[in-house]
Amino acid sequence: MKGSGDCGIPLAAAVGNGDQFPILLVEDEIFIRLASADWLRDAGYAVIEAANPQEALDILASGQPLAMLATDITMPGPMDGLDLAAHVRGTRHALPVLLLSAHVPENPADHADAALSKPFSPSELVSTVERLIGEPWQTRTGGSGTSKAS
């Protein structure tokens, strides 16, 4: 498993999506967050929704293993999506990062593994995620998939 360190606490396998590493989706605009999360769930991925970077930090601090981070850039508060991406790259080196923004930086590769300009379609979002972490079955915990988590 790529990047799995001591950050993951064992999850009760029978609880929720305990059999799948989730995508951490960070978006402060509720309807965009809802739609994006629905598209990813419909495609078969597990998703944790965070409404701002502080909530994302709470998830990271809880030790939840993740398949990837997908974050908006411009959000209210002291930290934006680029700060969050930098934090993740410093603490969970192997976790793929996807930026979702109407204002993607000039060199997104400096900050993340990929970037999508808003507005994006369901298929654009899902295909980008698939390129970064594979198909949903590949995010499963346990032996059968080529699961990656950090």
Partner 1 sequence: MADQDRRERDEQSLVVADSDVLVRHLIADYLRHCGYTVIEAASFEEAVTVVEAGSITPAVVLSDVELSGNGNGFALREQLTRTRPEVRVILAGSITSATHAAADLCEEGPHLARPYDPQLVLERIRRHLARRNSQVNQ
**Rounded CA gap, 72 and 80, in Å?**
8
Sole binder of partner 1 in the list 64, 87, 118, 138 (CB under 8 A): 64
Shortest CB 41 distance to partner 1, Å: 8
Label residue 63 left, alpha or beta by phi (over 0 means left) and psi (-120 to 50 means alpha). Answer: left
Decide if residue 9 touches partner 1 (CB under 8 A): yes
Shortest CB 42 distance to partner 1, Å: 11
> Residue 54 or 138: which CB sits closer to partner 1?
54
Kindly indicate which of the ranges 49-57, 70-78, 80-88, 92-100 contains the residues binding partner 1, using the contact rule CB under 8 A. 49-57
Residue 52 forms beta bridges with which residues?
A: none
Sole binder of partner 1 in the list 6, 15, 119, 143 (CB under 8 A): 15
* 59 sits in which H/E element: helix 53-61
Burial track 104-129 (b if 16+ CB lie within 10 A, e otherwise): beeebeebbbbbbeeeeeeeebbebb
User: Taking CB under 8 A as the criterion, which residues in 89-148 touch partner 1?
Assistant: none
Decide if residue 17 touches partner 1 (CB under 8 A): yes
- Residues 6+ away with beta carbon under 8 Å from 76: 28, 52
Decide if residue 59 touches partner 1 (CB under 8 A): yes
> Residue 49 or 113: which CB sits closer to partner 1?
49
The answer to whether 149 touches 22, Cβ cutoff 8 Å, is no
* 133 sits in which H/E element: helix 122-133
- The residues binding partner 1 (CB under 8 A) are 9, 11-12, 14-17, 30-31, 34, 48-52, 55, 58-59, 61-64
